[in-house]
Amino acid sequence: MSVRFPELACYGLAGHTDQPRDLLVEARLAEELGLGSVFLSERFNLKDAGVLAGAVAAATEHVGIATAATNHNTRHPLVTATMATTAHRLSGGRYALGLGRGFAALFDVMGLPRVTGAQLEDVVGIYRSLWRGEAVLGHEGPAGSYPYLNQDSSFDEHVPVLMTAIGPRSLALAGRLADGVVLHTFLTDEALARSVSTIRSSAEEAGRDPGSVRIWAVLATIEDSLPEELRLRKLVGRLATYLQGYGDVLVAANGWDAAVLDRFRADPLVQGYPGAFDAIGTVEQLTYLRDEVLPAEWLAASATGTAEQCAARVVEQLAIGADSVVLHGATPAELAPVLAAYSSVRAVTRDLPTNPGWIA
């Protein structure tokens, strides 16, 4: 059996959750609806990447599984490599390990080193050596000092590596290094096209086939039938939360006006806000941000409206140059009408593999 839409994915447990067991139902429904993959983010409360990947592997038979993303500095390289090989074999080859830079401020308070591009390049080399059954001896590099690392000399595990990327240096690194790249939510069409070009050009400069890197656009998808509070939380609350955490990076990626970001940060509601807007924002607060603070064109970098309008936006993302699209911020049940509409306008002819880290 093959999935209906291998080019599409959703996030399991999108946003915040206090019931990780809900992922089992979501993953089964995602498979039933024909989604190609389930992506899994990680949070240091109830979203452990390895546990969630194992749950999806056990609950499904066909969907791809992507950790997107974890951070290499939160686990020893041998532990992460083992997590990946375990998920790889448990899922029958459906798993892709996704890595990202994470949040520097969070690592500072956790007492962990900040993630650098050099570290990522180094640690991916370690993982791939271990997956080939090689021992890593006397390693000294940006990712650390490791006298001896080894998994199993019989290994020849083909685990793809995904990288999340938004800034030009991260995009270029991903083009050189990764099997697949996961872009960011709320990218404009121009930013998406520019990101695709950067990744492909970097891959080519590194001597790789530029078409061998699978690029995932990430599209906030909020269909009209959802209750107003939920739509506000998934659209306005989510964008405001990103701007709270790393607004400079997102604004720069889109070429947006930095002065607008400054006004957002200076707003009395935003200053000293006690949490993330997508978690605790009220209808009144989110409506105020939408109507008075955030430009409409910033919120328009998403898929909203009817199911047909959302489906059309998905088609546009693929036409711009993405190989695949993560329908972000919505559960499989919430995506059902969008997928039904998409099936009638789908124009994909390439037969993509189930594993979200491979393109061929």
The predicted-structure confidence for 109-141, as pLDDT tens digits, reads as follows: 999 999 999 999 999 999 999 999 999 999 999
Q: Residue 2: what pLDDT?
A: 65
Maximum Cα–Cα distance across the chain: 61
Whole-angstrom Cα distance, residue 23 to residue 32?
14
Whole-angstrom Cα distance, residue 54 to residue 210?
31
| Confidence band for 350, pLDDT divided at 50, 70 and 90 | confident
Average pLDDT, the chain: 97
Contacts of 44 (CB under 8 A, 6+ apart): none
Contacts of 10 (CB under 8 A, 6+ apart): 26, 30, 35, 38, 39, 326, 327, 328, 330, 331, 332, 335
Strand ranges, E, within 142-242: 144-149, 161-164, 180-182, 214-223
Mean pLDDT of 258-269: 98
Whole-angstrom Cα distance, residue 341 to residue 18?
31
Question: Tens digit of pLDDT for each residue in 175-225?
Answer: 999 999 999 999 999 999 999 999 999 999 999 999 999 999 999 999 999
Question: Tens digit of pLDDT for each residue in 302-326?
Answer: 999 999 999 999 999 999 999 999 9
pTM of the model: 0.97
Rounded to 5°, the CA angle 9-245-178 comes to 45
